[in-house]
Amino acid sequence: MHPDDSEPERRRAVAARRATASLAQQIADLERQGEELSGSILGVETLLVKERPDDDDQPIRILPHGSGTPLRPFFVECREAGVRVWRDDFSGSIYLARGDLDDESRFSAFLQRVRMVREGTVVFLIRPDGVDTYRWAQGRTDRLYVRHAKLPVPSFGELEFML
AA letter at 40: S
Least confident range from 16-30, 34-48, 64-78, 132-146: namely: 34-48
For residue 117, count other CB atoms closer than 10 A to its CB.
14
- Residue 57: predicted pLDDT: 63
66 vs 129, more confident: 129
- Residue 61: predicted pLDDT: 62
d(CA 72, CA 61): 18
pTM over 0.95: no
- Residue 50: predicted pLDDT: 46
Share of the chain above pLDDT 90, in %: 1
Do the strands 148-152 and 120-126 form a parallel or antiparallel pair, or are they unpaired?
parallel
- Residue 49: predicted pLDDT: 46
SS3 158: coil
H or E segment to which residue 16 belongs: helix 7-51
CATH of region 57-161: 3.30.420
pLDDT band, residue 38 (cuts 50/70/90)? low
